[in-house]
Structure 1
Amino acid sequence: MSTNKEEQLQLLVASCREGDRKAQETIFSLFSRKMFAVCLRYCRDHDEAEDVMIMGFTKVFTRIDAYKGEGSFEGWIRRIMVNSALTEYRKNAKRMYTVDIDAVQPDTEAVAYQDDTTEMKYLLSLIQGLPGHLRIAFNMFVIEGYSHKEIGEILGITEDLSKIHVFRARKQLQQKIRNAEPVFCA
């Protein structure tokens, strides 16, 4: 980020600390798309991801004083979004049921690989289709870059169980991709 943009961002953060609604709206506009994508990777669907993102931004603005200007502001927001998604997952985990992956019928709908965006949407839908505990560990390790030790500490599981979750998630994703019937568009 250029120095001018960094200065503008710091001014926005300072205004948010004073409760300036316009500054909050601007920060929301600047980061909402990226943060929605982060939330979507952890959530089951768009509605849940939107709810998590809104809860996350509420935390951002109520806890803005906790941001000390050290490190990336975007990274600080991202961490809040991931933590909000994990909180929502834990809250919903009590109401979730599990389904044996072998009992699930494969989706017979063809997948179109028209461009990178379509392929990314398809991959995201596959990740969202993973059981919650596998999806969370996979996202944290592969996408967010947490170590297995950190994942274990955050989720309250062993480091080895984190490795098993990521391994199983990868295997399930590979199987889903192998079973897909891509349609190539000219």
Structure 2
Amino acid sequence: METDIRFRHKSLVENSKSGDRNAQYQLYELYVDAMYNIGMRFLGIKEDAEDIVQDSFVDAFKNLHNFKYESTFGAWLKRIVINKSINHLKVKRLPLAAMDDHEYHLTEEPNNEPIDKTDVEKVKRGIEKLPLGYKNIINLYLLEGYDHMEIGEVLGISTSTSKSQYHRAKKKLVEIINTL
């Protein structure tokens, strides 16, 4: 089954490379919702997320000849959406939170009890309340699965800064969640 899906996706990519508009539309339909969700997590504004997703697909189809199957098409497209989202935030001059600007110290670490749906909603609300830089680190690391080296490359920061920002973001998130 998974092999069939991979073959279908590869076939759509190859047909799209040769200019097949139907194949491009099918790829768009397969990935548009997931890419929109990524854009919304980073940008938080529906219109901005929609614009970024459209621009990302246009760029992806223009540069499809550069796609070499080193990852899945979805992973490649996701990286485009994330990079465009971050660049959009930079243009709006919404920088990462400076490390010295936000010193948060918690006396307790969170416990490891099972999480119910109410807790998941609290976490989502908490992430939304984080300063933008912290929110980006949390999104990239926890939700998108990037490691700190990749985050550093995407955000133009060092690996150690990514780790420190993540640690501080996690502490701030716990603080926020505890007030909800």
With structure 1 as the length reference, what TM-score do the two structures score?
A: 0.73
The 1-side partners of 2:39 and 2:150 are apart by 19
Residue 174 of structure 2 aligns with which residue?
174
Whether 2:135 is the aligned partner of 1:135: answer yes
The 10-residue stretch of structure 1 (7-16 or 124-133) with the greater mean CA deviation from structure 2: 124-133
Please tell me the residue identity of whatever aligns with 1:2: E
Higher RCO (CA 8 Å, separation ≥ 6 residues) = 1
**Residues 94 and 134 of structure 1, relative CA distance in 2, 3 Å threshold:** closer
Q: Once the 2 structures are TM-superposed, how far is the Cα of residue 53 of structure 1 from its aligned partner?
A: 1.4
Distance between the aligned counterparts of 2:127 and 2:8, measured in 1?
Answer: 36
CA separation of 1:151/1:139 partners in 2, compared to 1, >3 Å: closer, same or farther? same
Q: Answer yes or no: is the 8 Å Cα contact 1:41–1:127 preserved in 2.
A: no
Q: Which amino acid aligns with 1:9?
A: H
Which residue of the partner structure matches residue 18 of structure 2?
A: 18
Indicate whether 1:33 and 2:46 are aligned: no
Tell me the TM-score normalised to structure 2 length.
Answer: 0.76
Residue by residue over 1:137-161, the C-alpha shift from the partner in whole angstroms, topping out at 9 and shown as x without a partner, is: 2222222233323322332223332
Offset of residue 177 of structure 1 = 1.6
2:12 is the alignment partner of 1:42: no
**Matched-pair contact (CA < 8 Å) for 2:129–2:176:** no
Letter in 1 for 2:8: Q
Structure 1 contact 45–128 (Cα < 8 Å) conserved: no
Question: 1:41–1:124: 8 Å Cα contact kept in structure 2?
Answer: no
Partner of 2:61: 61
**Could you say if the C-alpha distance between residues 94 and 39 of structure 1 is closer, same or farther in structure 2, counting changes exceeding 3 Å?**
closer
1:39 touches 1:81 (CA, 8 Å); kept in 2?
yes
Residues 160 and 3 of structure 1: is their aligned pair in 2 closer, same or farther, counting only changes over 3 Å?
closer
Deviation at 1:38, TM superposition (A): 1.7
The equivalent residue for 1:71 is 71
> 3-state SS of the aligned residue for 2:92?
helix
Look up the match of 2:108: none
Q: Percent same amino acid at aligned positions?
A: 30
- Across the two proteins, how many residue pairs are aligned to each other? 165
Tell me which stretches of 4 or more aligned residues in structure 1 moved more than 4 Å. Answer: 94-98, 118-122
Gaps of 5+ in 2: 103-115
> Displacement, 1:77?
1.4
In structure 1, stretches of 5+ residues that fail to align are: 102-114, 181-186
* TM-superposed deviation, 1:64: 1.0
> How far apart, CA to CA, are the structure 1 residues paired with 2:78 and 2:146?
13
The answer on whether the counterparts of 1:89 and 1:132 sit within 8 Å (CA) in structure 2 is no
**AA at the equivalent of 2:23:** A
The equivalent residue for 2:152 is 152
